[in-house]
Amino acid sequence: MSEKTLHVITRNCPQNHRCPAVSACPVECLKQEGYAAPTVDNDACISCGKCTRVCPMGALILS
Instruction: Give the interface with ligand SF4 as residue ranges (CB under 6 A).
Output: 6, 13, 17, 19-21, 24-25, 27, 29-30, 37-38, 40, 45-51, 54-55, 57, 59-60
Residue 13 vs 33, nearer CB to ligand SF4: 13
Tell the smallest beta-carbon distance from residue 2 to ligand SF4 (Å): 15
Tell the smallest beta-carbon distance from residue 5 to ligand SF4 (Å): 9
Judged on CB neighbours under 10 Å (0-12, 13-18, 19+), 14 is exposed
- Count CB neighbours of 59 within 10 A: 21
Cα(11)–Cα(13) distance, rounded to whole angstroms? Answer: 6
